[in-house]
Chains A and B, each alone.
Chain A
């Protein structure tokens, strides 16, 4: 917000330094944000993993309820998103571990690693779902 607050009309309007909305997103910034967003998604998604385990432990009825929900189109959509978030966060984490060793921090290295994160996560997600559908007969 560039305008001065109305409660202080006499405050001088100073120029603001450019912020997130101004810059063209560098890939490193996009992947940094994606890492945090996928991490937050996985945080809540872990409840689904717990729910699945508890359903198996509870018995056939709870398990078939879970199977039914997981097999519905919205369930599959969530699981697809979960798979991508998991792989993206994993590859992003590996990228951070590489950076922790002070490797790949130059412009070329960091941009390559950032692109590799998104390309790798999308490719692996599609591969996994192709395997699931064609080799295990889907989610049924």
Chain B
């Protein structure tokens, strides 16, 4: 590998960007595809699938063995709302490999005693997100405070950053009002449509832990499942 390519690879990793290092094992020819380079590339579909699954893979191209080495930053989950559901969701998400942070400006909720094993930021979302180094597409955001003053700024930031998962707690009626506020703030219908609301897969969850399960399952789906082909 050329040193210049290795240093590009390390820069990509440091910037929390996903990509795939493509190596022709017979010739040694190598190139680095960042996640923005997939469309239009001969191996773009295979590279996208490998990045989505998080697994490096050997593929064949014109009878040649080509190795796709996945470079995926660790995914993060930012839970906005240090509520009962968050107490179940934080450890479960950590088990699934996410770096978890809990954000809630209400100090009584965001206490380390309630979240012994997670990073807790008793700040407003805007300040907490800045402290966490900003959002990106390898970040999931679950807004579950029920309070628009706290949830809305987090959702706006998540939409702007293209987070891979954005979920918001609240009934359809609550979400309807939220959609109006976000539209008034300048977000398009398509952007707002990315918000999963009511949050979580519809499995009839009742308890906080069950709701956390439905949210985590929805996050896994967003991360791993192949998106449907856009209709033409």
A and B interact: no
- Report A's interface with B, CB cutoff 8 A: none
